[in-house]
Chains A and B, each alone.
Chain A
Amino acid sequence: MNIYDLTIHELKEKISAGELTPGEIKKAFADRINDVEDKVKSYITVTYELAEAQLKDYENKKEKMLAGIPIAVKDNMSTDGIKTSCASKMLENYKPPYNATVVEKLNEAGAVILGKTNMDEFAMGSSTENSAFFVTHNPWNLNHAPGGSSGGSAAAVAAGECAAALGSDTGGSIRQPASYCGVVGLKPTYGMVSRYGLVAFASSLDQIGPITKDVEDSAILMNVIAGHDPQDSTSIAGKKEDYTKYLKEDVSGMKIGIPEEYFNLEFDEEVKASVLAAVEKLKEVGAEVETVHMTDASYALAAYYVIAPAEASSNLARYDGVRYGLRSEHASDVNEMFTNTRHEGFGEEVKRRIMIGTYALSSGYYDAYYLKAQKVRTLIKDDFDRIFNDFDLILTPTAPSTAIELESKSDPLEMYHTDIFTVPVNIAGVPAMSVPCGFDSSEMPIGLQLIGPHFGEGKIIQAAYTLEKLLNINEKRAEL
């Protein structure tokens, strides 16, 4: 196996066995980036200078959890002095003067940050085609999208351009690209990972999480990034655990609910068959699987496309050309400067969502849209709580299909529907993971989603780890 194919825990073993040095590892990944980046286009910025600096500090960090491990970070997480563009023309030259808490935690854990990955502009999209700069290609088939919005992170992991990556997930933006790229993506419970320094899309839904080659790596990364941060008032104290203790092949007696309303939706038959086959495997080793009834996921999608744009319209209002980022050169007064800066700096999808959100919050429409959506949100939360009174986990497909072809979905509503299985999870604030469960007839990866109750990351990891061992497909890599 190539060095760049190795997981975090495999690399750690090789380092401690003296078989590899962090310098050799960094070089192997840099060579890989050199070889395949032209085809995949995962990175907006490679940060070798930072990586070298972090390598120099290796001796001080070698006992730490990620000592010498090459990691990629989505380009919406602030990196001190390093461009953090959110894949937007608006922030094309913006260098934050501070690090996001997760970046600080990676530093502290001895990670070697290789670069900042491509994404849909301001995390708005499901294919990474909304990047203002370029399209990222799915390593399993370069004509396909890597998913989104954390498409660059998922593609970089799948292509061996990093050992693991961080993504952010507002409506599925970690899980859906993980599913498309055949890797593991975890969206933690809302509040488990600090959002400080994550450029906000929809504050009440955004959550940072790991994208990794296997479940064990996901647990390791969670150990590094989870935990209370005094700089994020919505982060939760006292709930962090050692997630690696859940790396057990044991689902006996675990109660897993299969929501009939989700499986009754119209979606790819191969995906459905693959997910249901995985369910059978879990049953065989003792999982207690039952059909459950949940609110139609389309209500969650409707609520999401009111709440997320509403928050986005406010969060993105600060990009006005006054302090940083793009400033239009075509303006004769301050209002023209605002208008033209935003006209020139934002892409189509971002503008669409700002318009939707502004409308939904406007006086006269607030009750009918925003308030109604919040009520639906409460119902969806209650719905999940009700199921989790009796079940340990809920299992669904991650996405209705395998990776879509590039430029295949021009209708935004059609694109929004690719998030149908993942969005309810964000609305409810619960954790969920996408784990590879097979391949379709075109050899494109399929993922299934395990959803847990609040702070149920441990149970998710345990079930996913068991499944991964049962299916034994995670050694398979995209050929480039």
Chain B
Amino acid sequence: MTTKYETVIGLEVHVQLNTDSKIFCGCSTEFGKEPNENTCPVCLGLPGTLPVLNKKVVDYAIMAGLALNCDIAEYSKFDRKNYFYPDLPKAYQISQFDLPIAENGEIEIETEAGLFNIGVTRVHLEEDAGKLIHEGSIDKSKGSLVDYNRTGVPLIEIVSEPDMRTPAQAKAYLTELKMIMEYLDISDCNMEEGSLRCDANVSLRPVGQEEFGIKAELKNMNSFSAVEKGLEYEVKRQQELLDEGKKVVQETRTWDESLNKTISMRGKEEAHDYRYFPEPDLVPLEIDAAWKEEMGKEIPELPREKYKRFISELGLPEYDAGVLTGDKDLAVFFEEVLSDYDDPKNLSNWMMGEFLRLLNENGQAPFESGVSPINLAKMLKMIDQDIISGKIAKKVFEKMYNSGSDPETIVEEEGLKQISDEDELENIVDGIIADNPDAVEDVQNGKDRAIGFLVGQVMKETRGKANPGLVNQMLRDKLMD
């Protein structure tokens, strides 16, 4: 009989903070500059230079800690992590080792299998390293160049408890973290650009066993799908080894996107000894209650809270609430419209339908299109007040999206106003009745569907502007009394 195994996953997530300047010097953190443009003697680690901690970075880290329900340390310190690499100009990274800024948190995640609480072991501050640029491929390159623009960009590392049991949970946790960081507005969280990076520890143990199995550390998963695929591959690989009676080796493995598999990078015996020790160039970081409280005030409603409120207070279906809160800007946009408009479900339909469709087609974020919340509210009210039909509204919306114009102006200029005047419609309705004797007969014989056909003809005649409800009523009055 084969043993049943339980998967154990823990994630180490690096989040680049979006402060204007670096963590220990005044250099800009702007992305996409000329190589080594954003550098100074301090972030280049020139002899004699010293780090000075950027307060904003601490502000952001406190916010992250609070949002992850952590205890914020009143006293934490920085340590040096020593290793040689050309992208690390001091040959040590200033990080936090035994006294991180935040500890003991947890967040709630939801997957198809239900709700789970995932523990957050710690959040610590550190500086990013630079980037090597190889001429050609890494193994055949004759020389390499170094770009230190990224050196000293602030990072927080968020370490989870080994609480995840499936790759889907890991993906949900990572998604939740990303959303929280975005809601806090402390990171761009772009995995492709490297402002969000994820390493995973994966192991398997026989179901019921307390003790953890031997783990592999997975690196180089550069997208959300890579995290899920990498973990799925690794779970399968370990499962197969164990089924064959072999042992999992403790090692670091890298996810190869093109080969769709994980490859061994280095074993336990090649693991670095980082020789951590307290950074003597910085004083300990002390955070008092007032600072913590001040940062607490900066924390907006977080995605899970918002999601739950959208369901309980606005009566939205779970699916809608999930889509709308899944993107901070979309949620903000939604709520801004709601301050002028009071039918959440109708609004949700429009946002998840037309709006998201156009945003996706154009690769734009909610506030980048021509549609402003106030104009969307106006348009929805025009539908509700029968000024335009729902069908016409789609045209109006598309014009709003592309031009940024006010819906009233568009309706006015294009003559799209709905015809709700019986006198105005009378002749057209009569004409359609005269031109379609077969359909009229069907209606009179009780074939209700034929009414729809006649309404459609009136709509066609009026280029969609007729009020369909009114036309329907008029036809019924004329044909079925």
Contacts and interface: CB of A to CB of B under 8 A. Distances in A.
Nearest to A229: B50
Given A196-B50, A203-B280, A233-B53, A317 B90 contact: yes
Given A203-B281, A361-B277, A314 B80 contact: yes
Interface stretch (B38-46, B108-116, B261-269): B38-46
A91 interface: yes
Contacts of B51: 233
Interface string A85-121: 0100001001011101000000000000000000000
Nearest to A339: B84
Interface in B42-95: 44-53, 80, 82, 84, 86, 89-92
Contacts of A313: 82, 275
Contacts of B275: 313-314, 358, 361-363, 366
B282 interface: yes
14 contacts: A78-B46, A78-B47, A78-B48, A98-B46, A98-B49, A202-B280, A233-B52, A311-B280, A317-B91, A317-B92, A320-B86, A320-B91, A323-B44, A324-B46
A143 interface: no
Contact of B146 (A94, A202, A322): A322
Contacts of B314: none
B365 interface: no
Interface residues of A, number: 44
A311 B280 CA distance: 8
From B41, B82, B277, name the one whose CB has the most chain A CB atoms within 10 angstroms.
Answer: B277
Contacts of A433: none
A370 B89 contact: no
A233 B50 contact: yes
Contacts of B276: 361
Interface string A358-383: 10011100100010000000000000
B53 A314 contact: no
B21 to A, nearest CB: 14
A91 B283 contact: no
B282 to A, nearest CB: 5
A310 interface: yes
A230 B53 CA distance: 10
A187 interface: no
A443 interface: no
Contacts of A91: 47
B281 A197 contact: no
List of 9 A-B pairs having minimum Cβ-Cβ separation, nearest first: A317-B91, A203-B280, A204-B280, A361-B275, A199-B47, A197-B48, A78-B48, A199-B48, A322-B86
Interface in B249-283: 273, 275-277, 280-283
Interface of B: 41, 44-53, 80, 82, 84, 86, 89-92, 144, 146, 273, 275-277, 280-283
B89 to A, nearest CB: 6
A318 interface: yes
A334 interface: yes
A84 B47 contact: yes
B91 A318 contact: yes
A98 B43 CA distance: 13
A314 to B, nearest CB: 5
B167 to A, nearest CB: 32
Interface of A: 76-78, 84, 86, 91, 94, 96-98, 100, 195-200, 202-204, 230-234, 310-311, 313-314, 317-318, 320, 322-324, 334-335, 338, 358, 361-363, 366, 370
Contacts of A334: 86, 144
B82 to A, nearest CB: 5
Contacts of B82: 313-314, 317, 361
From A202, A204, A314, A361, name the one whose CB has the most chain B CB atoms within 10 angstroms.
Answer: A314
Main secondary structure of the interface of A (DSSP, over half): loop
A318 B52 contact: no
Contacts, number: 102
Contacts of A199: 47-48
A362 B273 contact: yes
Contact of A230 (B46, B52, B91): B52
B75 to A, nearest CB: 16
A203 B144 CA distance: 32
A324 B273 CA distance: 26
A147 to B, nearest CB: 23
A195 B280 CA distance: 12
B41 A96 contact: yes
B24 to A, nearest CB: 9
Contacts of A196: 48-50
A177 B45 CA distance: 30
A318 B45 CA distance: 8
B84 A338 contact: yes
Contacts of A198: 48
Contacts of A318: 45, 47, 89-91
A165 B282 CA distance: 28
Contacts of A363: 273, 275
Contacts of A361: 82, 275-277
A310 B80 CA distance: 11
Contacts of B49: 98, 196-197
Contacts of A310: 277
Contact of A77 (B48, B52, B90): B48
A352 to B, nearest CB: 17
A98 B47 CA distance: 10
Nearest to B273: A363
Nearest to B90: A318
Nearest to B277: A361
Contacts of A197: 48-49
From B50, B84, B90, B92, name the one whose CB has the most chain A CB atoms within 10 angstroms.
Answer: B50
B281 A96 contact: no
Nearest to A359: B275
Nearest to B91: A317
A100 B50 CA distance: 11
B52 A96 contact: no
Contacts of A204: 280
A362 B46 CA distance: 25
Contacts of A335: 84
Given A233-B282, A363-B273, A323 B89 contact: yes
B322 to A, nearest CB: 45
Nearest to B92: A314
Contacts of B146: 322-323
Given A233-B282, A317-B90, A335-B84, 10 more contacts: A199-B47, A204-B280, A230-B52, A231-B50, A234-B282, A310-B277, A317-B84, A318-B47, A318-B89, A363-B273
A297 B282 CA distance: 28
A46 B49 CA distance: 24
A159 to B, nearest CB: 27
Given A230-B52, A233-B53, A338-B84, A370 B277 contact: yes
A77 B46 CA distance: 12
B351 to A, nearest CB: 49
B47 A96 contact: yes
Nearest to A97: B41
A95 to B, nearest CB: 11
Contacts of A317: 82, 84, 90-92
Nearest to B146: A322
A231 B91 contact: no
A350 B53 CA distance: 30
A412 B186 CA distance: 52
A431 B359 CA distance: 67
A96 B48 contact: yes
From A313, A317, A370, name the one whose CB has the most chain B CB atoms within 10 angstroms.
Answer: A317
Given A317-B91, A318-B91, A234 B47 contact: no
Contacts of A195: 48, 50
A96 B47 CA distance: 8
Contacts of B45: 318, 323
Contacts of A311: 277, 280
A200 to B, nearest CB: 7
Contacts of B92: 314, 317
B284 to A, nearest CB: 10
